[in-house]
Structure 1
């Protein structure tokens, strides 16, 4: 069994503990860079990249050792790497140094994003939709429990657009409101005329007259 740097030995159980906590999609790798050709001294969930104890340092690891840019760097987190079969990994490399600051090892975490990417695609697909207005011209759909609630919801929707209580609207404004309500199918509901009459402060006979006028104007425009 190869001799391991004494500062790296305590990190071997940490490698195991991180893997147990994070799960099988997280590969945890401990490198001893004193032997780049066989740098891996501990690895959990090696199926992610197919490596085992005794595997070599990666080309990126060699670059980190050689380049002076990383002299005072402690870690490089959340960068993207790709496996030989095309899977996307989210990776982090932590630098392990001795008392003089020399790099003696790396603790690497490689997360296989495949399952999460599939879930994201499913979520994105499930949450992709068009609005009712885009599809039909209707602004929204209400889920009233009773007809009375539905009547009030439709009336309130139109009231918001007038900007004032319907009883204070002019005749022309009331006819326009009735036209809009008719387009929404409001008068298919039982009690619609009575509810609107109460809201507008008119008799139901007046509402019927306004409705006939609104429909005649609509037919004249066709």
Structure 2
């Protein structure tokens, strides 16, 4: 049986525990770099990459051992790797050192992002919206329980055209407001003229007259 450094041996139950806690999409791998050709001494959920105990060190592991860039590094977190069949993994490599600071092994975590990527696509699909502003001149649909609420909200939405309380607006400003309300379908609602007459301080007959003038102007533009 291969002799394992006691420090690395202490990480074998850690490997097992992490694999069981995190679940089957997380591969946990413990490497002993004293034998790069058979460095894997413990592995959980090896189906993620298809490896098992006795598998060799990766090319990244070999590079780390030869490069001065990692002399004082303890963790390389959250980098992207790809399996042989094209699945994307989110990987982290933790350096295990002896009492002298020399690297003796790696604890690696490889998360298969396939499921979460599908979930992300589903979320994005359900949170993609048609621009209602371009189609209906408004950026949202209002849900109300009473007609009065709808009438009031419609009026509030066009008050900015006059820039003042509607009862103090000029005739031209009122006609512009009526034109906008007509485009919104305001006058399809029962009681709309009475409601607007109170808001503008005019009689129903004046509102009807202004509305006819607004519609005539619109028709002349066609």
Shorter-chain TM-score range: over 0.9
Taking structure 1 as the reference length, the TM-score comes to: 0.96
Which SS does the other structure have where 1:84 is aligned? coil
In the alignment, does 2:150 pair up with 1:150? yes
Q: Which residue of structure 1 aligns with residue 52 of structure 2?
A: 52
Q: Structure 1 residue runs of 4+, over 6 Å off?
A: none
Q: 1:176 to 1:122 in 2, by over 3 A?
A: same
Q: Which residue of structure 2 aligns with residue 69 of structure 1?
A: 69
Shift of 1:163: 2.4
Q: Which residue of structure 2 aligns with residue 80 of structure 1?
A: 80
Which SS does the other structure have where 2:8 is aligned? coil
Q: What is the number of residues matched between the two proteins? A: 222
Which SS does the other structure have where 2:122 is aligned? helix
Q: 1:139 to 1:57 in 2, by over 3 A?
A: closer
Shift of 1:186: 0.4
Q: Which residue of structure 1 aligns with residue 9 of structure 2?
A: 9
Q: 1:90 to 1:24 in 2, by over 3 A?
A: same
Following superposition of structure 1 onto structure 2, how do residues 1-222 of structure 1 map, counting pairs within 5 Å? 1-222=1-222
Gaps of 5+ in 1: none
**Contact in 1 for aligned 2:161/2:176 (Cα 8 Å):** no
Q: Distance in 2 between matches of 1:159 and 1:73?
A: 63
Q: 1:213 to 1:161 in 2, by over 3 A?
A: closer
Q: Distance in 1 between matches of 2:161 and 2:217?
A: 21
Gaps of 5+ in 2: none
Taking structure 2 as the reference length, the TM-score comes to: 0.96
